Structures are given as C-alpha cells and as structure tokens.
Amino acid sequence: MLISFPIYSPEEEIKDPLFSKKNVRVYFKRDDKIHPFISGNKWRKLKYNLIDAQQRNINHLVTFGGAWSNHLLATAAAAASFGFTSTGFVRGEDIDNAVLSMCRLFGMDLQFVDRQSYKEKRNLFLTHFNDRESLFLDEGGKSKLGMQGCMELLDELEQDYDHIFVASGTGTTVAGIAAGITQYGLKTQVETIPVLKSADFLLDEFTSFGVDPAHIKLHLDYHFGGYAKTKPDLLLFIKEFVSKTGIMLEPTYTGKLVFGVYDLIMKDYFKPNSKILVIHTGGLTGYLGYLEQFNRLATI
C-alpha cells in the first residue's frame, strides 16, 4: 500500500486584543488537522520511516513510549493504515487507559517494561526482534528520516514569517524546521519551547542531526515542572484559549508552547510588526490524561 495521504494543514491567523496592543500578528500552522490519530508532527516524523520500511520489505513496526504517548497511538494507526503490524513497548507498570485502548484497537501489541529496562531501547528491540524483519522507531519518532519529514513543512507555507515557534520533546521537529530554514536561505528565527526540565541537552541533539544549535533559540522557562507536569495557571490558560478560539490544546506540548508565546508577547520580546507562526503539532489525545485536573478547575 502506498505510504501517502493528502496533508491538510492550513495557516490561520489568530486574533487577540493583546496582539493588536503589541502590534504583532500570530498565525497557527494547523498540523493537528492532518489526521485524527496520525496527527501533526507524528505523521511528518513517521512518513519517511514507513517508506523506508516498505522499500526494505519490513512489515513490522516496533516503537516506544509512555502510557499516554501520542507517538504510540500514531504508530499504531499508521501501521493499521498502511499494512504493517506493530508492537509498542510501554514504559512503566501494566495499566489501561483510553490511549492504550486505542493502540490495541489499531492492532498494536503492547509490552510493558520497567523503567530501567526501558532506558536500553535498542537492546530491548534486538532482544525480541530481528532488525531485518522489524523496524526500530525510537521514542517520539526521533530520527534523521523523521527530521526530513519535518523539513517539508516549509514547502507548504503560504507566506514568510519573522519567527517560527514549535514545542520540543526529542528536538526532531525543530531540527527539521531549522535545517529547512538554512537550506532555503530564509531569515526566519526558529524558536522552541522545550517541554522537559533542564532541556539544554537539546543543543547536543541538534548537533547530532547536523543542525547548528546557534540557529535555534531555546526558551527554557515554560516546562511547568517537566515532561507531562502541569500547574493550575497552565490549565486555566488552556481553558480560556480553547473557549475563545475553538483551537484545542493539551498540556504536555501545545499548551506550554502557546502559553510561552503569549508570555513572550506580553514581555515585548518581539519587534513591532512581527509575524509569528506557531506550529500546532497535534497529539490532542494527550488531553485525556489530564481530565481529572481539568474537571477540578470547575470547582475552583
């Protein structure tokens, strides 16, 4: 089966009195509209890995993630869509939740492993699978082929921007965008909001991808305690933003990203007349892991 489907990812300008006051224009690249489950940068990072697997006659995908991993779900859905089988190694204790249930529905075999064993993902893969018959997909889709898919985002843009913002986990998406900016000779400043605490390690990751870290601006103050951590002010921001714009966010990636952009606008980080593009990387099923916390907001 051909590894392809049309990408629908429009650019939409977001209006807010704050933007008018600070004389900036903010646009969203709606990668969340690419696919309901293989959404956003997940599709971009999987695309060339799947093509590679198909060309090498590999029919089984093996990947890794936490219990609420959007990447696990995207891989499971992609496998079902394009004729692969799949296995997902899940970090931590054997549990069930809505995301893992959907992974199973798409046919993914889930294997729960302790956190120490999970750190040795490549060894875990080689212990259970033949690398000529199964494809190793790192956590979050981290790979140079994944970066290649993310570079293509620049080919779709309808106009030039002064700043492009994206959230970072593994750094693959922002590295791809930065590589594309360099390749096309654009003057756009690439900026990222890491969702992990102490994310300076991303500088080494960018180098490993062949991207000069000097071309990417890191904003390290919007992790809210670390990966998958949150605080009431972030949840309240998300609730207000979604109710005013109709654009869904979740607290792990996109919520922190948009919170950071708003905060930087309030702090006059941008020059007047700046055009800012925010990459909405999808993964909205991650919201399900925070239902209890959002429900508590109603009682505050």
> For this structure, is 86 an active site residue?
no
Q: What is the C-alpha separation between 286 and 97, in angstroms, rounded?
A: 11
Mean pLDDT by 10 residues, the chain (300 residues): 79 98 98 93 96 96 96 97 97 95 98 94 94 95 96 94 97 96 95 95 94 95 94 95 97 97 98 98 90 77
- Does residue 20 sit in helix, strand or coil? helix
Residue 263: Cβ-neighbour burial (10 angstroms; 0-12, 13-18, 19+)? middle
Strand extents, DSSP E, the chain: 11-14, 24-30, 60-65, 85-91, 109-113, 134-136, 163-168, 189-194, 216-218, 274-280
Q: Inter-axis angle of helices 144-151 and 41-55, to 10 degrees?
A: 120
Find the catalytic residue in 4, 9, 39, 69: 69
The pLDDT, as a whole number, for residue 299 is 59
The pLDDT, as a whole number, for residue 287 is 87
Q: What are phi and psi of 274, to 5 degrees?
A: -70, 145
Write the CB contacts of 56 (distance below 8 Å, at least 6 apart in sequence).
none
From the list 22, 33, 37, 10, the residue with the least C-alpha distance to 285 is: 37
Task: Enumerate domains of the chain plus CATH numbers.
Answer: 11-37+143-297 (3.40.50.1100), 41-141 (3.40.50.1100)
The pLDDT, as a whole number, for residue 7 is 80
